[in-house]
A and B are shown apart, each in its own frame.
Chain A
């Protein structure tokens, strides 16, 4: 391999007759003046002067003559020249010497470019592409078999290169991670692997999971024993409204406004009403009672007048008037009934979802135990919960750290990460009043100081709030097809022109890592996950498995009672029903019988009393 053509300080062209170049592979350029710098292959080409592009004047197109030469042993393919554009990784001040040799490096020569942490101290996320030859040559044994791969056709595959070990500890200087990719690009798979690694390191993490996907109880099938891991004790699953909720008494008026905003716009009048009505230490019950009483007060003037005139009042009526007197002063400030009704309706909705019937404590417990807590629920609820939960935890963490600084006392709270898929729904660009955006933005800008990190996955990075996008110091970019998103990635990452051109064609599970921690972008293949997603079954397979089950049972039930004829279906119905375990109607039996005839399993014979069905072989 040799440097040819015109060189610059940044790029060279290399040629080889023996070996085709691999994209993204790292090679060493033997130029002592520049201390033998390493370079990365960013573009490859092969050409053969004897098999040129179509040219009407070229006589090389004649296949017959070429065949004759092949018969005499000539191999025109052997005259193929392989070219590669190589980007120099070091910062040089003068161009590379033309004619310098290029060779495969020893692992020790390029280790600093590929691996910065051992598997113990970093997150093993996958394999660096283009490093197969270097790894085979002389990579450290400790790095082997740490990142197995997966192929849809062939199953679990061995590691075929240097493992990519993400230096997560450097997030104290370069916090926050973005994971971008279209559907089917392997983004969720990549997120799963990242979360598995965080669990193995025991880093407390909150995951907001709108897709009900982040379950780590099922191990991935077909993994060798040394590679397996059990995550059941490392994570906890919570469903909003069932396992986890919000303690009303912890809410400030602004918090409540935020929560209600998750259900729809909250007008200024409503905001001021809430601020007027809410008291310290209000419970859900006490607050809703006050709201409803005020409504009754404003609507029930006539009734109250009537009762006041009435001399004698029973206990109920007395209580009623008392309550009305309590709220009377408020009526001066809030006279609009519809505002109150709107607030009341939203509160009811949240109550029905169970938001106020549970508390956050189980979640916080999980974090304190250094577990991953996964919160699942419908998107609109998750957004509400995310805002509140994140702020609570962030405040507690901040209090603890600030107290530490001052030398004071505060309840211990660990550093943690906040993870979400569909992040553009939690922190969208633009004016929309999304409850969670504020706190997430704050964390993106201030979180580093307190060890609070964001990990955002989304299909639409162009829709994510720009301040947050700018703060994501590490970005994993999977296959992206939309030009808007690609444009954004061009600006927000250090991907080269060639790399962004390849974004729509990246195979599933392959990603570029663009990170301030690395200093250059690296192409990786995500390792096989150690756990399986609950949605892993192909819906078409599911249809066969699940829904054909019933039909099969019915077929078997029928086979048991053959021969059967129209007139005695009814008498056999009970045994058929028992067998299937469901209530089957006569029509269903007849239908199935006819289908089985069509399928060739049964024969149908018409007789004086109707049709008799028999097994195929019998008749």
Chain B
């Protein structure tokens, strides 16, 4: 296709989206419809005094992970995974729990692990997809492990996970179960902060029960510009609590909220058992989120910055350990050698 044809196609697509946009009912109608299946509420930022009182001597812990892969196509790749649980208070000069792992499909042990994983999870993927799944799963595991260790060492009041619980339930279910158990036992609030809303449940439920047509919008598009600053929306109990595929009983709920200036909403996953207190925590999350940020509590940005593995760093690490000949034969991607 020539360039002019591409342009035309994009313009047509733009018109399509505009039409979709037009067809969606206006904000007030949607808000009204939503009140049928849930409630809107507003919160105020907690002041330093309240925060201090709530936490007393206990810290806040944030958990995040990072993967970086070096190499050519599967299986000629090697990945470095790292997870970190960082506490606002240090114990004996230590403030972080860091777990890491190195995985490559070229390694026998890893090949076995990948196959094992597939077996345990339905055997649907092969080759590259299987390897990727395994990486995702392993990272989720590392994050939950870091969270558990941090829980034991730092005894936090609140744990913020970077991302929703669905991922942990899917890829690291038994470890996550253990995390839930410990948290509930010690009265620690466990929250999952979802920056990119990927669900479609609310839109679906709304269309079903709110008598409203949403033109295929999913939750992200639905909540864009809908929630005010410091406001949050939670579904009624009946519609809440996504049960997990094969579990008997562990459920969690989700609150949608907007904590910063820009109009995109985020979602917060919480444990069902803590549903009474969680709405009260919204003021805390609001206080922890800078107004001009991407909308999530700043502590997670800090953890993210520290856990991130730069591609250059990984490259330097590998180049310092592997013989150049071996690196070249097994991993070096040809694209690095491109002239332009």
Contact = CB atoms under 8 A, between A and B. Distances in A.
A49 B51 contact: no
A62 B293 contact: yes
A618 B41 CA distance: 80
Given A65-B288, A69-B288, A72-B89, A59 B294 contact: yes
B90 A65 contact: no
A64 interface: yes
Contacts of A68: 46, 48, 51, 287-288
B75 interface: no
B63 to A, nearest CB: 15
A107 B307 CA distance: 40
Contact of B289 (A60, A65, A72): A65
Nearest to B301: A59
Nearest to A75: B90
Interface string B286-303: 011111111001110110
Interface size band for A: 10 to 19
B59 A62 contact: no
Contacts of B294: 59
A65 B287 contact: yes
B305 A49 contact: yes
A69 B290 contact: no
B37 interface: no
B288 A74 contact: no
B290 A74 contact: no
A61 B298 CA distance: 11
A50 interface: yes
Interface in B47-77: 48-49, 51-52, 55, 57, 59-60
A67 B49 CA distance: 11
Chain B CB count within 10 A is highest, among A50, A60, A70, A71, for: A71
Given A71-B51, A71-B55, A73-B59, A59 B288 contact: no
B154 to A, nearest CB: 10
A62 B259 CA distance: 14
B291 A62 contact: yes
Contacts of B291: 62, 64
Contacts of A59: 290, 292-294, 298, 301
Interface in A27-71: 49-50, 59-62, 64-71
A65 B287 CA distance: 6
Contacts of A60: 290, 298
A59 B293 CA distance: 5
Given A49-B305, A68-B46, A62 B290 contact: yes
Interface residues of B, number: 27
Given A72-B88, A73-B59, A64 B287 contact: yes
B45 interface: yes
Contacts of B60: 69, 72, 74
B55 A72 contact: yes
A132 B294 CA distance: 47
A70 B297 CA distance: 14
B255 to A, nearest CB: 19
Contacts of B51: 68, 71-72
A72 B293 contact: no
A74 B299 CA distance: 10
A69 B59 CA distance: 10
A78 interface: yes
A8 B305 CA distance: 30
A65 B88 contact: no
Contact of A73 (B49, B55, B297): B55
A258 B60 CA distance: 86
A78 B88 CA distance: 11
A302 B51 CA distance: 116
Contacts of B48: 67-68, 70-71
A1 to B, nearest CB: 16
Given A71-B52, A72-B51, A62 B298 contact: yes
Contacts of A62: 290-293, 298
A541 B89 CA distance: 55
B291 to A, nearest CB: 6
A467 to B, nearest CB: 55
B88 A74 contact: yes
Contacts of A66: 298
Interface string B273-289: 00000000000000111
Contact of B90 (A50, A71, A78): A78
Interface string B316-338: 00000000000000000000000
Interface in A81-111: none
Contacts of B287: 64-65, 68
A65 B289 CA distance: 6
Contact of B89 (A49, A61, A67, A73): A73
B34 to A, nearest CB: 29
Contacts of B89: 72-74
Given A71-B52, A72-B60, A72-B89, A65 B290 contact: yes
A62 B292 CA distance: 8
A63 to B, nearest CB: 9
A267 B302 CA distance: 83
Nearest to B49: A71
B55 to A, nearest CB: 5
Interface string A583-619: 0000000000000000000000000000000000000
Interface in A473-496: none
A49 B290 CA distance: 17
Contacts of A50: 302
A67 B46 CA distance: 11
Given A59-B294, A69-B60, A72-B88, 19 more contacts: A49-B305, A60-B290, A61-B290, A61-B292, A62-B293, A64-B287, A65-B287, A66-B298, A68-B46, A68-B287, A70-B48, A71-B49, A71-B52, A72-B59, A72-B89, A73-B88, A74-B89, A74-B299, A78-B90
5 contacts: A50-B302, A68-B48, A68-B288, A69-B288, A72-B51
What are the 8 closest A-B residue pairs judged by CB atoms, nearest first?
A: A62-B290, A59-B293, A73-B89, A74-B88, A71-B51, A65-B290, A71-B48, A59-B290
